[in-house]
Structure 1
Amino acid sequence: MNLQQVAPDPRQERADDRAQDRRLVADATRELARRTRFPVAFGGLVENGVARMTAFHGTHTDALAGLSVRAERGLGGRAMVELRPRMTGDYRTARQITHDYDVYILGEGIGTLIAAPVIVDGVARGVLYGGAWGRWDIGGVAAAPAVQVADDLAKELARRDDARRRLAQANAPVVDSLSAVQREELRESYAELRAISKSIDDAAIRERLAEVERRLAALSGIAEAPRTEPIPQVRLSPREIDVLARAGLGETNAQIGALLGLREATVKAYLSAAMAKLDASTRHAAVAQARKWGLLP
């Protein structure tokens, strides 16, 4: 087991996920422009309750940069609330929407605009826009392909969400799904295997038993849990692990000695050495620290 291994930073993983999602939005805006023939297309996903525009295609200016759309506000905000596309052939005079974002839309010179919500599991995850300079007769000819592109994006986002959930479940510590009784049985089995391996002379069999021990230890999932700091380099001897594993089951020094074929004083010496390495003042604290650092299941 590599004690220096540190789990990936969750913040970096979230940043990577956002970057992947934004690439999908960029692809969708280009596809919307291709299918609808709108010269301008832009879009973004909801982050912290606001749809932040991150992808732009065919713009003549930087006027749309920084556009963030809130629910119910503007054409896109209304589309996200109503969960259906909204459109206008004359944005400047449109009365059915608020004009919170005129500085962005009119700044780019857009007169015709369509907004198609990206709906995942009945919730608007974002919005895609198609626009043109001047007035167009939009109708269903442009609306249908815009909605299809938004639907395709929604399906891809849903697939990614499902994949991320499955990955998170696969990486979740197994110990979380074990009952207290099952955890104790796992630890007893681990300790018993270590005791058995000491009585076997065949090196090949002992190595196979050691592999089973490592797999049992890995079932706890502790070594894979997110860490805020690197694990100290602590190396316990095989005998120190043996006595700690049995101490973790609540056995006395005398019982441990009888099971491992050691004198009680020798057991005490191994425990003291392990406690010193783990910077623990008691045997119970040493066991807890060893489990925290993935040295015991």
Structure 2
Amino acid sequence: MTTPAADPVSHAVGELVRRTRFPVAFGGLEHDGAIHVSAIAGARTRHLEGLVVQRHRGLGGRALVEGRPRVTLDYRTSRTITHDYDRVILGEGIATLFAVPVVVTGTPRGVLYCGSWGQSPIGDGAARPAFRVAEELAVELRVRDEVQRRLAAMPDPAPSDGLPTTAREELRESYAELRSLAAGVQDAAIRTRLERIERRLAALSGPGEHAGEPEVRLSPREHDVLACAALGATNAEIAAQLDLRETTVKSYLAAAMSKLDASTRHAAVTRARRLGILP
């Protein structure tokens, strides 16, 4: 069983099975003091469906509270965990279970599990990909949190005059920060979903004024740099924010200005907004 592809937990669980040697994976986020398993991949039975793991209980409950991975090579005989969920885990036939917390800005937000039906030692070849998947999920959750926070903080649009000035500036800051966060995401599927959110944010400022002009295509990095420049950031500040060299920032900015037929960064930002490239 898996949840829809738009669910980041479902995507992460699928990646666990694909990238590690574990045949079964499942996971969920924490709500009201418990992990609610929302995605499962590779299971042979339906025992794992609807599983809710309380904090401190079982392997995942310990991983959530401690904020670090936990493993048992023989779930049935383990003396280091509570056995509240034996009916579910043993019902699926799992022997080795590996639980990795999803930590967002220092706070455990969920747990991803990898399991096998036989006793399987866990080496770097299995652990590192699992850690990487958990990190990618944490990045996406952080980005989603930030987007929702900023959108919730924006005033309602004026009924006739479009967005108020404060709301527009907040929108532009949100857009630039989202691009900065997304720049560090390696997973192609996650980047695609983030790009959809970016387009929605850009669309909130209204349609471009020059819709009939030839389309200008900026590279992702040119777009990132220009979005930061639109907030008045210096080249040094942009470099620090995007983890680039200052000379690289200058190069991307120059390329964006050339494509936008602009002689200054201010003119490039203005034309990008008119074209609907930036909010």
Q: What range describes the TM-score normalised by the shorter chain of this pair?
A: 0.5 to 0.7
Q: Which residue of 2 aligns with 1:106?
A: 90
Tell me the CA shift for residue 52 of structure 1.
Answer: 0.4
Matched-pair contact (CA < 8 Å) for 1:79–1:85: yes
Distance 2:153 2:74 in 1: 49
User: Given that residues 85 and 143 in structure 1 are in contact (C-alpha distance below 8 angstroms), is that contact kept between their aligned partners in structure 2?
Assistant: no
- Give, as a single letter, the amino acid of the residue that structure 1 aligns with 2:117: W
Match of 2:273 in 1: none
Misfit runs of 4+, over 2 Å: 19-22, 172-175, 213-219
Q: Give SS of 1:119's match.
A: strand
Kept in 2, the 8 Å contact 1:21–1:157? The answer is no
Q: CA deviation at 1:168?
A: 1.0
1:64-79 paired onto structure 2 within 5 Å: 64-79=48-63
Report what 2:10 is aligned to: 26
Q: Which amino acid aligns with 1:132?
A: S
Deviations 1:2-25 (A, max 9, x none): xxxxxxxxxxxxxxxxx8897110
Out of 100, 112, 127, the position equivalent to 1:116 is 100
| Correspondent of 1:46 among 30, 35, 39 | 30
Are 2:125 and 1:141 equivalent residues in the alignment?
yes
Contact 1:78 1:86 in 2 (8 A): yes
Provide the secondary structure at the position in 1 that maps to 2:80: coil
1:85 — aligned with what? 69
Q: Which amino acid aligns with 2:150?
A: R
In structure 1, runs of 5+ residues without a counterpart are 1-18, 176-212, 222-297
**What's the secondary structure of 1:56's corresponding residue?**
strand
Find the counterpart in structure 2 of residue 60 from structure 1.
Answer: 44
Q: Provide the rounded CA distance (Å) in 2 between the counterparts of 1:124 and 1:73.
A: 15
Distance 1:218 1:139 in 2: 55
SS in 2 for 1:54: strand
- Name the structure 2 match of 1:179: none
Shift of 1:101: 0.7
The SS at the match of 2:46 is: coil
- Give the Cα–Cα distance (whole angstroms) in 1 for the partners of residues 75 and 38 of structure 2: 22
Pair 1:125 & 2:140 matched: no
Per the alignment, in what secondary structure is the counterpart of residue 64 of structure 1?
A: coil
What is the alpha-carbon distance in structure 2 between the residues aligned to residue 165 and residue 126 of structure 1?
20
Tell me how far apart the structure 2 counterparts of residues 217 and 36 of structure 1 sit (CA, whole Å).
47
Q: Shift of residue 141 of structure 1?
A: 2.6
Aligned match of 1:94 in 58, 61, 78? 78
How big is the shift at 1:108?
Answer: 0.1
Once residues 5 and 31 of structure 2 are traced to their aligned partners in structure 1, the CA distance between those partners, rounded to angstroms, is 11
SS where residue 137 of structure 1 aligns?
Answer: coil
Deviations 1:97-121 (A, max 9, x none): 1111111100000001100001112
TM-score calculated relative to the size of structure 2:
0.54
Q: Which has the larger radius of gyration?
A: 1
Q: Of the two structures, which has the highest relative contact order with CA contacts closer than 8 Å and spacing of 6 or more?
A: 1
Letter in 1 for 2:15: E
Mapped partners of 1:157, 1:217: distance in 2: 27
Question: What is the number of residues matched between the two proteins?
Answer: 165
Matches within 5 A, 1:262-281: none
Cα distance in 2 for partners of 1:96, 1:126 equals 20
Q: Structure 1, residues 2-51: CA drift from partner, whole Å, max 9, x if none? A: xxxxxxxxxxxxxxxxx889711011001011111210000001122211
